[in-house]
Structure 1
Amino acid sequence: MEVYRDFYKKSIENPKAFWQEQAQKISWHQFPKTILSNKQNYPQWFADGKLNMSYLCIDKHIEDGYGEEIAVIYDSPVTNRKRTITYNELHSEVARLAGGLHKMGVQKGDTVLIYMPMIPQAVFSMLACARLGVTHTVVFGGFAPNELAVRIDDCKPKVILTASSGVEVDRILPYKPFVDSAIELATHKPQYVILFKRLLGAVVPDKEYDIDYKSLVTASSEIDPVIVEANHPLYVLHTSGTTGKPKGIVRDTGGYATALKFSMGYIYNVKPGEVFWAASDVGWVVGHSFIVYGPLLNRNTTVLFEGKPVKTPDASAFWRIISEYNVKSVFAAPTAIRAIRKEDPDGLMLENFDLSSLNYFFLAGERSDTATVEWLTQKINRPVIDHWWQTESGWPMASIMTKIDDVKIKYGSVAKPVCGFDIQIVDEEGNQLPDDKEGFVVVKLPLPPGTLMGIWNNEERFFSGYLEQINGYYFTGDGGFKDSEGYLYITGRVDDVINVAGHRLSTAEMEEVISSHNMVAECAVFGIHDEIKGQTPLALVVTKAGNDVAESVIEQEVIAKIRSNIGTIATLKRVIVVDRLPKTRSGKILRKLLRDIADKKEYTIPSTIDDPEIINEIIQVYKQHKI
């Protein structure tokens, strides 16, 4: 295994040389020759010796004459506020905040924790840290104090940047009180908490470590960007839903910048000056890559949306954003589209908006079922592209590269490997499997620039969890297969496979069939304990708004669909209609939690859950149906 460790370390010690060397060795999927030329390849970022992410995202565009171009659009239906921020304004906000942090003794090599809602100050804070060469760790807003305390102890920030509160449709989230409680719980104590006060009515007790955000910025001078090495850690981002010691993914600067710049042009196909919208949160990897750094690197106006796909005010929120700001390309989670479809199944609200600016709609974050993709494609009459990547990769691993590929969409597929990712399907021994044969989805080493450098303070966990599972490959943790044209199909996490009497069945395949039912808005299938067969599948379904079909009829029709499409081997006999499914705040259905409750096992409600009250609802449903 040492050979793989040495090889990986070399790949991050000098990514400039590594990129040049590997470009000559790897068969990169349709890699544009211009990117590999001396004029436009990776070393371009180092040509003038100004490697700093904040510089590349802001200063460079101002130097090129685009200072008055809009960099960020802030749209907050929950507070009824809108704001546009030019590159000049962004520079002032970021450089002065960085200057304030510098006065407080924050410098290259330190860490800063950011715990903020979807407001411009969250973006300013990330870019200010990057400007100083300070490694930031953004914690998703709304994390409970205990989970926040664990992350404080893991990263040991010198400073925490937070806001007084956030807004969730019909409730105020007490961000600052959460931070105060987390500091009490944590072993490590940050020196300061920089507080951005929002006038939303939240009670925020003063603490001796508090520094007022606005006063700090007003009193500070702008500071120039600190030049960093290519492998300097830009940020640490902990994977969501972690229990125990969190897994902090470490991202570099140079390779990441290159990967994001490439992604914006060749995958999302947006030109500098155009508007791009990733409907996510800065607390997730999508927010890091494609709300903040990717669009700004490519000089795209990025939309910062403090709202939800429904109830802010209704299911037309996405269409309004696209129409109002002339968005060219959108990135959202399938769960957002399912929520819209549930509230407006006929897409009537969409008819009130002009979507002529839109070229592509990308989906990722969880598996995109065919019914959802078909519905969205029909309603917007644009290519809907399911693509696949992970927090660990930092940018798409499989997608249609719309700038150079024919946009040939296959429902259920995340398209082809993106250049740089040699994705293969193998068995447990690492043997390659033939077309249409399901196995482990792995990436042949070396990984391309932009992928994880490791796990913060835990190198052993990094190698054992990712690089030593199957020799010579990065282990994604997902199962899937490729077809004869090289299209990749992700069937779900390896531990989401049900074993029924020795037969391995994919929950994703069953969910695909169930969601094609015309009354089903979304569903979850998972295996529950069975004395004879080991496991049997259980399906929970949420019906569309306005459904008046009896639950018993839906159950019978769903079971018949499974038998018709998969066969009796699936043995699906229980289908239960529920009002909603437990999800993380990023939209992932908590299938393991559903399974543990059904199997009467001890369980922990993840801090990432959107609404803990739903667990009581599920328990009552299980009791009613004698699960």
Structure 2
Amino acid sequence: MTDALLTPNQPVRDDHYAPVWQRSIDDPEGFWLETAELIDWHRKPTRAVEMRSDTEWRWFPDGELNTCYNAVDRHVEAGNGDRTAIIYDSAMTGTQSRISYAELQEHVARFAGVLRNAGVGVGDRVLIYLPMIPEAIISMLACARIGAIHSVVFGGFASSELAVRLNDAEPKVIVTTNGGLEPNRVVEYLPIIEKALARSSDSVETVIVAERSRIPGSAADYQGGPVRYLDWKEAECAAEPVAPVPVPANHPAYILYTSGTTGNPKGIVRDTGGHAVALTRSMSKIYGIGAGDVFWTASDVGWVVGHSYIVYAPLLAGATTLIYEGKPVGTPDSGAFFRVIEQYGVKVLFTAPTAVRAIRREDPELEGANRHDISSLEALFLAGERTDPETYHWLNDGLHCPVIDHWWQTETGWAICVNPRGIELLPSKPGSTSVPCPGVDLRILDAAGNDVTEPGVEGNIALKLPLPPGYLLTVWGDPERFSRSYLEAFPGYYATGDSGYVDEDGFVYVMGRTDDVINVAGHRLSTGALEEVLAMHDAVAEAAVVGVADALKGSRAYGIVTLKHGFEVEDAVLEKELVALVREHIGPVAAFRDVAVVARLPKTRSGKILRKTIRQILDGEKYQVPPTIEDITVLDDLLALAPQPDVVPATGMFTVPIRTVAQN
């Protein structure tokens, strides 16, 4: 990327990406103060960024605002109270409803009163443990309304994981329901909460239960214990509406936990001012969404994507957000997403590559899309896992609208790289996450921290400090861990933990986590590049490549693939063809000969493939089943590759001997 795309005094074109990005880097103070005009402030900031040290900064340090006011009240005050704020569609129950901005204001203000009656004030924490129902959005906004800090935990997380988060955040209140719905089962939440409370500190004083019909359990079943249980509806009827409470821009908006290398999750802290400014801008400039448009993020409120683009960003922009309780396949079929697009006139869909791969596996000809009128769809955005070129082409050819892969992390809260549809839709490059967002100064560093940002040079992807507004500020209760985890590897930079390179046009290629680079006999191979090649095969739906131990070469690449629905091919034939593909596209240096077919890949609930767990199983190492795993039974196929597991009950870890499926 060039150091200077503009000459002095050249006017900035806001409909061209390059000058907008350049200005954000050269003049962050002016750029972000101007952007701050997009929201309403109780006290308007006079400064954009304050550097407190080389590793500590604050955005809009003298500003005051309330995010809930900006997401709800200001739209009502502007005369748009009748506009639909939330569409709720449950494929599990058949429920379909709409909530206007005026109705949302009433619900949020009253539930803020419920929280206040429970003793919650500015700075207190509230843990939210809910499925994809409107109460999740209402409770998050109610926390923001009174300056409380929410921590949303994915509904259905095990009690042990819930207890860890209770101990770390020390919330006064838990907001939950009696249960969540999966296609083939009901997950009862209240017994999980009881077990978690028994294993955690005594900070929780109240549990508020939004009861769902046809699911066992209620607040009344848990009366008389040390923790008070309240029924949501009864408490809401008894509460008075509460007005928005202004807080400093640097006040924590929420805590969201992400996995840590030590096994203890890190509580990512997002600020209030930078978060509101960045997300508001992103709706128009990244996604091309304005007031009244229907924006659907097919994710979950328990993940960062759900926080940013189911809840906050669409409402800050005055758009209509869609909360969907269902799956891309199986509720009832692989046409579910297209039914929703048609029914509600969705303008932009944002989902994960794993979701569209699931659709591709069941419906490779995209017949589900052809059964529905999806002409309202102007763009499909993907993030969460790297989008391989084969999946990109399948979507792009089948949907006839721009398919835009973009890259971000729990820590960043919004995109690092994207094709900025709302500024200038750049020519697509399959396999690339496009270009750095305005405000993001992305560099490629070698192992010693030297800047090697030149076309085609692969290295560590790092972001120059300070990070843009809305990115993480610290780790809850442990600023030293924040610095240790993200800032120490390359002083002056945030280490993304991903490797990649830029091309001659500044497009970024994220090739995988830095620990996913395989060193085969001294040759560094990207798992992302290998997975791309495996996905080229007509039979392959998804692929994961890991590096397993090899006595001769140090490491060797091992491929795990799933097949498209209805595709029949003998394993031996497929293995031979995949080995030949890698030899053709990567070369003999890859020494690729190990491949296996499984029914499904192990993933987190957010869709990320558990490559570390795959590698540990195939290497015969001890491993711990991640709490975020979508379905533990998918490990059975992997264990079959390394039979006779030796269970170690004391740690919940397993050790397995390896058996290689190889092509000689």
TM range (shorter): over 0.9
- 1:626 matched to 2:654: no
Does structure 1 conserve the Cα–Cα contact (< 8 Å) formed by 2:260 and 2:266?
A: no
Aligned to 2:507: 487
Once the two structures are aligned, what percentage of the paired residues are identical?
48
Paired residue for 1:423?
Answer: 442
Asked whether 1:600 is paired with 2:633, we answer: no
What one-letter code is carried by the residue in structure 2 that aligns with 1:149? A
2:36 aligns with: 42
Cα separation, 1, equivalents of 2:32 and 2:264 = 43
Larger displacement relative to structure 2 (480-489 or 615-624): 615-624
In the TM superposition, what are the counterparts of 1:63-78 in structure 2 within 5 Å? Answer: 63-78=77-92
Q: Which residue is equivalent to 1:130? A: 144
Question: 1:395 & 1:83 partners in 2: Cα distance?
Answer: 28
User: What stretches of structure 2 of length at least 5 have no aligned partner?
Assistant: 1-17, 44-63, 645-657
Q: Does 1:29 align with 2:43?
A: no
Cα shift readout 1:524-553 (whole Å, capped 9, x = no counterpart): 110111111111111111000111111111
CA–CA separation in structure 1 for the residues paired with 2:448 and 2:41: 44
8 Å CA contact 1:316–1:350 kept in 2: the answer is yes
The answer to whether the 8 Å contact 1:112/1:136 transfers is yes
Offset of 1:36 from its aligned partner?
5.0
Equivalent residue in structure 2 for 1:326, among 345, 363, 376? 345
Q: 2:119 & 2:41 partners in 1: Cα distance?
A: 30
The residue type equivalent to 1:257 in the other structure is A
Deviation of the 1:39 alpha carbon: 9.1
Instruction: Tell me which residue corresponds to 1:153.
Output: 167
| AA aligned opposite 2:391 | T
Letter aligned with residue 320 of structure 1: R
Code of the aligned partner of 2:385: E
Which aligned pairs between 1:102-121 and structure 2 lie closer than 5 A?
Answer: 102-121=116-135
Structure 2 counterparts to residues 123-272 of structure 1, below 5 A:
123-203=137-217, 205-207=221-223, 208=225, 209-240=228-259, 244-272=263-291
Aligned mates of 1:37, 1:455 — CA distance in 2: 27
Query: Equivalent residues in 2 for 1:564-579 (5 A)?
Result: 564-579=584-599
- Separation in structure 1 between the aligned mates of residue 256 and residue 42 of structure 2, nearest angstrom: 29
C-alpha deviations, 1:437-476, integer Å up to 9, x for none?
Answer: 1000001112111111100001001111111211211111
SS in 2 for 1:511: helix
- Three-state SS of the structure 2 residue aligned to 1:548 is coil
Pairing partner for 2:433 from 414, 424, 448: 414
Residues 241 and 608 in structure 1, CA contact (< 8 A), matched pair in contact too: no
Distance 1:305 1:444 in 2: 37
Q: Do structure 1's residue 81 and structure 2's residue 114 form an aligned pair?
A: no
Partner secondary structure for residue 546 of structure 2: strand
Whole-angstrom distance in 2 between the partners of 1:496 and 1:563:
20
Unaligned 5+ segments in structure 1 are 1-25
Question: What displacement does 1:44 show?
Answer: 5.6
Among 371, 379, 391, the residue aligned to 1:372: 391
Rounded Cα–Cα distance in structure 2 between residues aligned with 1:39 and 1:423: 21
What displacement does 1:504 show? 1.2
The aligned counterpart of 1:523 is 543
Q: Find 2:603's aligned residue among 571, 583, 587.
A: 583
- State how far apart, in whole Å, the 2-side matches of 1:260 and 1:416 are: 18
Query: Do the aligned partners of 1:162 and 1:195 also contact (CA within 8 Å) in 2?
Result: yes
Work out the CA distance in 2 between the residues paired with 1:459 and 1:203: 40
**What amino acid is the match of 2:113?**
G
| Shift of residue 46, structure 1, vs aligned partner | 5.5
SS in 2 for 1:461: helix
Helix, strand or coil at the partner of 2:338: helix
1:189 is displaced (CA, Å) by: 3.8
Shift of 1:30: 5.2
Structure 1 residues 92 and 407 mapped into 2: Cα distance closer, same or farther (>3 Å)? same
Alpha-carbon deviation of 1:188?
A: 3.5
Pick aligned residue for 2:556 from 536, 544, 551: 536
What is the rounded CA distance, in whole Å, between the counterparts of 2:402 and 2:564 in structure 1? Answer: 24
Deviation at 1:202, TM superposition (A): 2.4
Query: What is the aligned residue count?
Result: 602
Q: Distance in 2 between matches of 1:446 and 1:38?
A: 13
Paired residue for 1:22? none
Q: Which residue of 2 aligns with 1:55?
A: 69
Distance 1:285 1:39, change over 3 A: closer
Contact 1:250 1:454 in 2 (8 A): yes
Structure 1 counterpart of 2:589, which letter?
A: I
1:242 and 1:606 in contact (8 A); partners too: no
Secondary structure of 1:437 counterpart: coil
Separation of aligned partners in 2, 1:257 and 1:117 = 24
Report the Cα offset of residue 242 of structure 1.
Answer: 6.8
Q: Are the structure 2 counterparts of residues 240 and 88 from structure 1 closer, same or farther at C-alpha, using a change threshold of 3 Å?
A: farther
Deviation at 1:164, TM superposition (A): 0.3
User: How much does 1:174 deviate?
Assistant: 1.4
Which residue pairs with 1:312 in the alignment?
331
The equivalent residue for 1:18 is none
> What is the distance in 2 between the residues matched to 1:283 and 1:602?
28
Taking structure 1 as the reference length, what is the TM-score of the superposition?
A: 0.93
- Partner-residue secondary structure (3-state), 1:327: coil
| Per-residue CA distance 1:111-145 (angstroms, 9 max, x = gap) | 00000000000111100000010000000111100
* Match among 495, 498, 501 for residue 475 of structure 1: 495
Change (3 A) 1:30 1:64: farther
- Give the 3 Å change call, closer, same or farther, for CA 493–163 of structure 1 in structure 2: same
Report the secondary structure of 1:29's partner residue.
Answer: helix
Name the CA shift for 1:38/1:541 in 2 (closer, same or farther; >3 Å): closer
The Cα shift of 1:311 comes to 0.2
- Aligned to 1:167, the other structure's residue is in SS state strand
Looking at structure 1, the residues matched to 546 and 264 of structure 2 have their Cα atoms a distance apart, in angstroms, of 26
Equivalent residue, structure 1, for 2:650? none
SS of 1:537's partner is strand
| SS in structure 1 of the partner of residue 163 of structure 2 | helix
Residues 44 and 120 of structure 1, relative CA distance in 2, 3 Å threshold: closer
Q: Report if the CA contact (8 A) 1:417-1:423 is conserved.
A: yes
Once the two structures are superposed, residues 59-92 of structure 1 have per-residue CA deviations (whole angstroms, 9 ceiling, x without a partner) of 0000000001000000001111111000111111
1:504 to 509, 518, 524: 524
Deviation of the 1:622 alpha carbon: 3.4
> Within 1, Cα distance between the matches of 2:627 and 2:405?
28
Counterpart mapping for 1:446-465 below 5 A: 446-465=466-485
SS across alignment from 1:256? helix
Q: Is the alpha carbon distance of 1:344 and 1:187 closer, same or farther for their aligned partners in structure 2, counting shifts above 3 Å?
A: same
* Alpha-carbon separation, structure 2, partners of 1:560 and 1:617: 24
Q: Distance in 1 between matches of 2:289 and 2:434?
A: 19
For the residues of structure 1 that align with 2:107 and 2:262, how far apart are their CA atoms? 36
C-alpha contact (below 8 Å) 1:53/1:257 kept by paired residues: yes
Q: How does 1:83-102 map to 2 (within 5 A)?
A: 83-102=97-116
8 A contact 1:34–1:40 mirrored in 2: no
TM-score (norm 2): 0.88
> Partner amino acid for 2:457?
K
1:219/1:58 CA distance change after superposition, 3 Å = same
Offset, 1:279: 0.6
Per-residue CA shift, 1:203-234, capped at 9, x if unaligned?
A: 45424321111110111111001110001100
The answer to whether the 8 Å contact 1:28/1:422 transfers is: no
Q: Is the 8 A contact 1:113 1:159 kept in 2?
A: yes
> Is the 8 Å Cα contact of residues 582 and 592 (structure 2) preserved in structure 1?
yes
Find the aligned partners of 1:227 and 1:54 in 2 and give their Cα distance.
10
Distance 1:240 1:34 in 2: 31
Judge which range, 28-37 or 280-289, deviates more.
28-37
